[in-house]
Amino acid sequence: MFAIIVGCGRTGSSLAYRMFRGGHDVTVIDHVGTSFEHLPPDYRGRTVTGEVLAEDVLRRAGIEQADGLAAVTNSDSVNAVVGHVAKHVFHVKTVVVRNYDPRYRSLHEALGLESVGSTAWGAQRTEEILTRVGGHSVFAAGNGEVEVYEVVVPPAWSGRSLRELLPAACLPAALTRGGQASLPAPETTLQTGDVVHVSATFDGIRALRGRASRES
């Protein structure tokens, strides 16, 4: 795909390089030319210096042919405006904006933009690592509102069913026993050492972790 990355800070440069290494055509826009120094020496995509809110700069970057655009500057308002223009003026198929301050997330939602909130997600992941009793996250959807957690069944849960153990905001996604994975039913009886992948909200996994802490 052909993607435009708006903003060449640490996030933008990392994203641009990942996509370039993945075989995609990439153009990076930044209003400060020295920002492109964040890109690794072997990056071979295009760079465009100019005001990211200027329509002529977006056209020069090739926005009319772009399959996707990511606005990842450290300004939520700039990301919102660029994302809105890309989606509604140039009709770019896939538009993602960085949500820098969680308080401004509603702005992106009001404009119908998909956003990635690194601050909120990072705080949640840090908490998970600090309090990983009851499983750790292996996949996050959206901005982390729903995640898939890997839970190893402790001896205290052996012989009990998923229905009995999982809180309302947790759904079983897979069960691995003896190296073989299956789709478990709520009535499935667990054994010590089983690996259960659970889809859960933050409140759901917090309740499950609380149960694990009490019963371990």
CATH number of 152's domain = 3.30.70.1450
Across all residues in the chain, what is the average pLDDT? Answer: 87
At 66 the pLDDT is 96
Say what the pLDDT of residue 127 is.
Answer: 56
Q: What is the mean pLDDT of residues 79-93?
A: 94
Q: pLDDT band for 158, please (50, 70, 90 cuts).
A: very high
**Are 210 and 136 part of one and the same domain?**
yes
The residue out of 117, 147, 181 marking a domain boundary is: 117
> What's the pLDDT band for 139 if we cut at 50, 70, 90?
confident
pTM of the model as a whole: 0.61
Least confident of 103-107, 123-127, 138-142, 207-211: 123-127
> Does residue 178 surpass a pLDDT of 70?
yes
State the pLDDT at residue 144.
Answer: 76
Residue 110 CA, distance from chain mean position: 19
| The pLDDT value given to residue 65 | 96
* 93, 117, 141 - which closes a domain: 117
What is the band of 138 on the pLDDT scale with cuts at 50, 70, 90? Answer: confident
The reply to whether 112 and 16 lie within a common domain is yes
> Greatest CA separation found in the chain?
66
Q: Which pLDDT belongs to residue 112?
A: 78
pLDDT average, residue stretch 127-154: 74
Same domain, 31 and 88: yes
Contact call for residues 35 and 9 (beta carbons, < 8 A):
yes
Q: Are strands 94-98 and 114-116 parallel, antiparallel or unpaired?
A: parallel
Compute the distance between CA of residue 199 and CA of residue 201 in angstroms, rounded to an integer. 7
Name the domain boundary from 117, 140, 168. 117
- Domain count along the chain: 2
Domain check: are 6 and 111 in the same one?
yes
Find the DSSP H helices in 89-132.
Answer: 105-110, 118-130
pLDDT over 90 (residue 126): no
Please give the Cα distance from 98 to 176 (Å, whole number).
Answer: 36
On whether both 110 and 193 belong to a single domain, the answer is no
Query: Could you tell me the pLDDT band of residue 118, with boundaries at 50, 70 and 90?
Result: low
Q: Residue 107 phi/psi, 5° resolution?
A: -65, -45
Domain, as residue range, for 210: 125-215
Q: Over 60: is that where the pLDDT of 131 sits?
A: no
Secondary element (H or E) of residue 165: helix 162-165
**pLDDT tier for residue 145 given thresholds of 50, 70 and 90:** confident
Q: What is the mean pLDDT of residues 155-184?
A: 92
